[in-house]
Amino acid sequence: MGPRPNLLTRRTAGVATSTLALLLSTAAVGVVPAASAFSAAPAGVCAEPADAHGHADARVAKGGHPRLDPNELTAQQVREREADLAAAQRERANFRTGPTVTPLASVTIPVVVHVIQENSTRAGGNIPDSLINQQITVLNQSYAGSTGGAATAFAFQLTKINRVTNPSWYPIVQGSSAERSMKTSLRTGGKNTLNIYLGELSDGLLGWATFPKRTLDKMDGVVVLSESLPGGTATNYNQGDTGTHEVGHWLNLYHTFQGGCSGSGDSVSDTPAEASPAYECPTGRDTCSTAGKDPITNFMDYTYDSCMYQFTAGQASRMLTAWNAYRAA
């Protein structure tokens, strides 16, 4: 596929609004049926390391060596998660709790951003509001399909920026008691509210996220390296796509390389199988014998921000299915 088209234009335009009306095609492409299960990674977290992968969802940068990728799941965890998704769909249908979002509807997700700072300096985590606003723009463009991929049903509206100076929470350490204390103290809103925590991160991670669950807990949300926001200092990972990737996990997407070349993979039929994470932008990479080259331009891989630009129609459909099952008010 190759590098993202017109990437510079997209990244510098900054004109998308957080109330974009998005359309999801009624001809949603093949989501693999939820026949195997769906189980959360450690504490239901999905984390992305900076170049390696572990057991909860995350994003990793090239050259990073985190001890754990909280968003990488075992086959058993995937089976459990898929079974839970099917159960949540049945539960919603049986009890008709809350509105169901149809394929042509749009969903505007309220976003609360928590900036975790060690002190008032930029080096201490005090990033400007402009980077946060640009991140919201990137989310809207990515999920609208305006960067070259399929349109999804989702748009994002920034409702609050919450700045917290607390050295005991800095850097943010995945899976730590400090992370739990931070989220327990700060998380706000219902299951439909996206809480994003920004700061310096541990273990070479660019970010991590929780998968949706039927019962909301305080750990729900997305953690992102603050300097990975558009205009940040994280070279090759500073165009906002860590945020895009982690929100994909929050909306129930797996990595494109989940499960490798066998089994149900990422449970989406229109993302070609991939044996392992792709880094940089390895055009033409093909690690599985099944049809299709590796989806290196997909937001749910590990390539440079300049290389990734799309979700597929199947991923858009899967996210909407999960929204109706887990997060619709």
Q: What single string gives the DSSP state of each residue in 128-189?
A: -HHHHHHHHHHHHHHHHTTTSS---SEEEEEEEEEEEE-GGG-SB-TTSHHHHHHHHHH--S
Helix/strand/coil for 121 = coil
Phi, psi of 281 (to 5 degrees): -150, 75
- Non-local (6+) Cβ contacts of 196 within 8 A are 111, 112, 113, 114, 221, 222, 223, 224, 243
Cβ proximity of 137 and 14 under 8 Å: yes
Catalytically annotated residue among 72, 82, 246, 274: 246
Which residues on neighbouring strands pair with residue 209, listed in sequence order? 46, 222
- Rounded CA-CA distance 58/113 in Å is 18
Cα end-to-end distance, the chain, whole Å: 38
Say whether 246 is catalytic: yes
What are the Cα distances from residue 6, in Å, to 15, 167, 278, 306? 15, 40, 21, 10
Q: Is 133 left (phi over 0), alpha (psi -120 to 50) or beta?
A: alpha
CB burial class (10 A; 0-12, 13-18, 19+) of residue 108? middle
Q: Please identify every residue annotated as catalytic.
A: 246
